[in-house]
Amino acid sequence: MTQTNTRLQVMWNRLLAVVEEQGQALIRAAFSPIVRECGDISAGIFDAQGRMLAQAVTGTPGHINTMAEAVKTLRDRFPIADMRPGDIYMTNDPWIASGHLNDFLLMMPVFYRDRVIGFTSCTSHLVDLGGLGMGPEGADIYDEGLLIPPCKLVSGGEVNALLLDIVKANAREPIANEGDIYALIACCEAGSDRLVQMMDEFGISDLDALSDYIIETSRRGTLDAIAALPKGTWRHVLKVDGYDSEIELHAALTIAEDHLLLDFNGTDRCVGKGINVPLNYATAYSVFALRCIIGADIPNNAGSLGPFRVTGPKGCILNAQSPAPVAMRHTLGQMTPDLVYGCLSQVLPDLVPAEGASCMYDLPLRHAPEALDRGDDLFALELVFNGGTGARPTLDGLSATAFPSGVWGSQVETTEAVAPVLFHRRELRVDSGGAGRLRGGLGQHIEISASKDQDVMLFLSVERVLNPAKGRAGGQDGAPGRIRVNTDGQDLPGKGEFRIRAGETLIFETPGGGGFGPPAERAEDALNSDLSAGLISEQAANRIYRGRS
């Protein structure tokens, strides 16, 4: 490595530290538990052309990879000549930002010596924006809340007070929304300040040389990884639960010499409920899944993302067009890694895991409509839980782990402190991991109720209730998800709006991941370890693994 390249590498490492500080500024300043406790964010630094140079490790692919394209869109929308120090631009347009209205994306031009040398950007989830809220019941985007087109949120350091008042007036949690918006602003400013400080320390006046080095180095590394793969086209179909009926997701993965193309042609059409997925969001998770296997050691930026292309027919459920309802776009968007891995497992069978729970098992909760008249607590809350990941070719799956979203599970104490909700149980779900030579990760068993004498509204949109995670290479399927009210109550469907009455207990079981390889080949010491840890029952060990009745 030349002396010049060594210096550029040091600056690249410094950028990675800058974006981590930027992301932590957002998390620490946020009001909403889903941001400050669960890390449902993204933060990044971009060059003057709008190309992503670095992203915070903390964050979700749905925020990070959509942000990588959204900054280009905003940069093209607002002329650089009109930008001034202290300006910040914002939108929550699902087809520009990250797929639904609740995610606000901000972009701030960074000035150095009176000219724009780059941008900082971030995204986070606001808990409520009016409308029908976080549920799949909307018939179109207008039902789902307040849509804000690309606009200037901060002008020369002055926040647009009218815009902030409009957001607060259209929310059930106005104080939390205001606090979260200021946290996003602080995130952009922290990144800008640290980037300018870095440039002063290294004595550079622009990011041009560093940007070209980062992007070209990452692009070459990714192309080398692609060149080593077999060439051709592989197809897979993933059946998911859907809303009223099951849905087929289709993918064709083509590996060429200098790019990968993923095509969703054949995927079922959009539906009349808010589980449709804008292509930017489906792309974000699909490409993330591919990059976990192909060039996984290469940092995520415009160079490493460039060789991956995703397309799909307009109007299919993975390429929803405005004004389709998309509030719960993560429900199917986060299933796309399993769709992609169904293709990739035919190419790299020794590297691709079994299917997992995949879709977040989140619980949007809020007060019942009559709460105001009764004097009940008013609240809007989104809890996040996770199931098990699929077993890997050389390792067991991970239990209660956020893959692919990366969103950490909601904390019991924090939840009970901010809303009238009481947890009775939260534990791993025994026998939920798919059996195999390598066992799938376990889901969770959670029991919650209202902590006061009031009803609570639940807005469900989860997957893997009808179609559990499939095992691979002879491994068995994981346990399906299950939701019911009280132990003797009927099972609830995976999607819809439900009322949990005062005194009732919601029992929420997240899915397990699929197993990998025949169960009979599981090592006896691994089986005994599972028994000792209470991950599987003695009956399952004997019946499934040891072949005893």
Number of H helices, E strands in the chain: 14, 19
Average pLDDT of adjacent 10-residue blocks, the chain of 549 residues: 83 95 95 89 97 94 96 97 97 98 98 97 94 92 97 98 96 94 98 97 96 97 97 98 97 97 98 98 98 96 98 98 97 98 97 96 92 90 94 98 92 90 97 98 97 94 98 98 91 94 96 98 96 96 87
What tokens does 395 get? 């390792």
> If you compute the radius of gyration of the chain from its CA atoms, what whole number of angstroms results?
23
| pTM, 2 dp | 0.96
Per-residue pLDDT, 4? 80
Q: How many residues does the chain have?
A: 549
How many CB atoms neighbour CB 320 within 10 A? 30
What letter does residue 75 receive in the DSSP assignment? H
Per-residue pLDDT, 490? 87
Per-residue pLDDT, 423? 96
Backbone angles phi, psi at 364, to 5 degrees: -70, 125
Strand-pair partners of 66: none
Per-residue pLDDT, 205? 96
Is-contact 207 53, C-beta < 8 A?
yes
482-491 long-range contacts, CB within 8 A, separation 24+:
482/507, 482/509, 483/507, 483/508, 483/509
What tokens does 300 get? 């995520």
Is-contact 274 136, C-beta < 8 A?
yes
**Dihedral sign computed on CA atoms, order 522, 525, 531, 537:** positive
